[in-house]
Amino acid sequence: MSNHQPPCDDDAVEPIEVFPERELDLRAGADACYKCTTCETSCPVAAVDDEFPGPKFQGPEQWRLKRKEDADIDDSILSCSNCLRCDSACPSEVPLAQMHNEARGEYVDEQMNKLSREYLRNRILANYGLLAKVGSKVPRLVNFVMGLSVTRKLNEKLLGLPSEREFPAFATQTFREWWRERGGAQVESDDKRVAYFHGCYSNYNTPEVGKAMVRVFEEFGYEVLVPEQRCSGTPMFANGMLSDARRAAETNVESLAAAIDDDADIVASCTSCSLSLRKEYPELFDIDRIDDVSEHTYEALEYLRIHEDLESAVTDAEVDHPALAYHAPCHARNQGLDRQAVELFREVDGVAIEDVGDSCSGISGTYGWKAEKYEASMAMGEEMFHHMEQSDGEVGMTECPTCAMQMEHGTGYEIKHPLQVLEAAVVSE
């Protein structure tokens, strides 16, 4: 068919090939941006960092600029914390997060000095799972050494990790070790089955979250599978390490697709993990069955709310629990999950829960773990710290492990995961 046909003739007009086929064409997204700048008013980084040109620049404008072959990607892309608030705010469906991830990946691949301290540090942060795997072999020793102030000073000098931050302690027994020790699933079922994507943090650092997830799902009669898995890739996207992320994604998609074939849906307890499997994977990679995995993935509490009468289950419960200051992680917001814990637990006798507002915690995964970003990270979190301190209790709650770190760091509060509170409410001793 010729390209000179009248454009409104019928549906069969062939598109004109403007860009090489293998390249991801984000032009439609760039064209859809009408510069209303709502994304910029939602960006927590732009709110505290005057040097950061904001999501509209990082997304559509950067994309247009780099169409010119001699234009480099602006290094301000490394200041985007990947919170995805711009994505939730855009009224025009510009794929901002996808554009940022692409730009960051290209910057890191083509412009970043691979021998620089910054690259090395980012690579280590992005591959936290690997570090944790080694560290958790000798958790007590590592916890002791990492806790020493001399180590923290050294980390800042050598690696650019902020000395103010306390390194998260490794659990003495990982979730997977516990899982093996208890002999795997205690409930078998052919029609109620979930595959648990625990992610790195609940495996190495907070296995109690993973245990709570297993106990709660078993209480509702689910058979829980714990398939082989690697890091979800979130810290890798956020640092532009797309080839690392792709390798992890390939492993995860293969293993989770096999679980889907065993009639399981996938549930995650970390909202960044569920977001990554659902949204970022299909946006960034073309891997066999990646859409299948995306369609079958849920956040754990979300899954129960959809498939069980969770409201009745918790309404009947009575828990003696200190008041909770709840912070909704940005990645929960992006999935429409920011209200579910508040709405669910306010029905429970003995649980008082207070939403501490809509600010970003400021740590945004690895962002707050960079010495040069530490101050901005704390400035973003200020509103949350303030609201937490104003709230009744001295226990916080959130789904996101790094938000939890920030909440604890800023207020000294103990932080719970909603699954732990749910465990207290519904699991019989």
Partner 1 sequence: MGLESDVLVIGGGLAGTTAAISAAREGADVRLVSHKKSTLRQSSGLVDALGYVPKREDGESDLGSGSGSGSGSGSERASESTLRGPVVNPYDAIEDLPEEHPYSIVGSEAVAEGFALFDELVGDAYRGGHTDSNALVPTFGGTVKPTARYPAATAAGVASDERPMFVVGFRSLSEYDAGALADGLSASGVPFPVAGAEVKFAEAFRDDAKITRFARALDDDEPIDGVPARKALTTAVEPQLAEFADSVADASDIRVGFPAFLGEDRADQIREELGDRLGAEVFEIPMGPPSLPGLRLEDLLLEQLDAAGVSFETGVRAVDRTVGTDGAVETVVVDRNGTGVPYAADAVVLATGGLIGKGLQSDRKRVTEPVFDCPVAHPADRYDWFLDDAFGDHPFARFGLATDNRLRPVDPSGDGEPEYPNLFAAGAVLGGADVAREKSASGVSLATGVVAGRGAAAVANDTTLEANR
Q: How far is the CB of 204 from partner 1 (least distance, A)?
A: 26
Q: Given the rule CB under 8 A, which of 58-66, 185-193, 248-256, 299-307 is the region that contacts partner 1?
A: 299-307
288 counts as binding partner 1 under rule CB under 8 A:
no
286 counts as binding partner 1 under rule CB under 8 A:
no
Encoded one letter per residue, x for contact with partner 1 by CB under 8 A and - for no contact, window 257-276 reads ------------------x-
Q: How far is the CB of 334 from partner 1 (least distance, A)?
A: 5
Give, as ranges, the residues between 39 and 68 that touch partner 1 (CB under 8 A): 40-42, 46-47, 50-51, 53-54
Distance CA 385, CA 283 (A): 34
**Residue corresponding to tokens 């007009």:** 13
Q: Given the rule CB under 8 A, which of 34-42, 106-114, 143-151, 412-420 is the region that contacts partner 1?
A: 34-42
Comparison of 6 and 183: residue with beta carbon closer to partner 1: 6
334 counts as binding partner 1 under rule CB under 8 A:
yes
In sequence order, what are the residues at sequence separation of 6 or more whose Cβ sits closer than 8 angstroms to the Cβ of residue 232?
197, 199, 248, 252, 268, 270, 272, 273, 276, 277
Distance CA 153, CA 133 (A): 23
CB 174 within 8 A of CB 203: yes
Q: 119: buried, middle or exposed (CB in 10 Å: 19+, 13-18, 0-12)?
A: middle
Comparison of 19 and 34: residue with beta carbon closer to partner 1: 34
Distance CA 194, CA 214 (A): 10
Comparison of 21 and 51: residue with beta carbon closer to partner 1: 51
Question: Which of 337, 405, 415, 421 is close enough to bind partner 1 by CB under 8 A?
Answer: 337
* Size of interface with partner 1, in residues (CB under 8 A): 47
Residue type, position 97, single letter: A
CB 280 within 8 A of CB 237: yes
Comparison of 128 and 222: residue with beta carbon closer to partner 1: 222
Distance CA 23, CA 188 (A): 46
Give, as ranges, the residues between 199 and 218 that touch partner 1 (CB under 8 A): none
12 counts as binding partner 1 under rule CB under 8 A:
no
Half-sphere exposure of 275 (CA within 13 A, CB side): 26
Helix 96-110 and helix 242-261: axis angle, to 10°?
130
Question: Which of 147, 221, 322, 336 is close enough to bind partner 1 by CB under 8 A?
Answer: 336
Question: Which of 24, 28, 36, 148 is close enough to bind partner 1 by CB under 8 A?
Answer: 36
Q: Which helix (H) or strand (E) holds 353?
A: strand 353-355
In the complex, which residues of this chain contact partner 1 (CB under 8 A)?
7-8, 36-38, 40-42, 46-47, 50-51, 53-54, 88-91, 93, 275, 278-279, 282, 291, 294-298, 302, 304-311, 333-340, 343
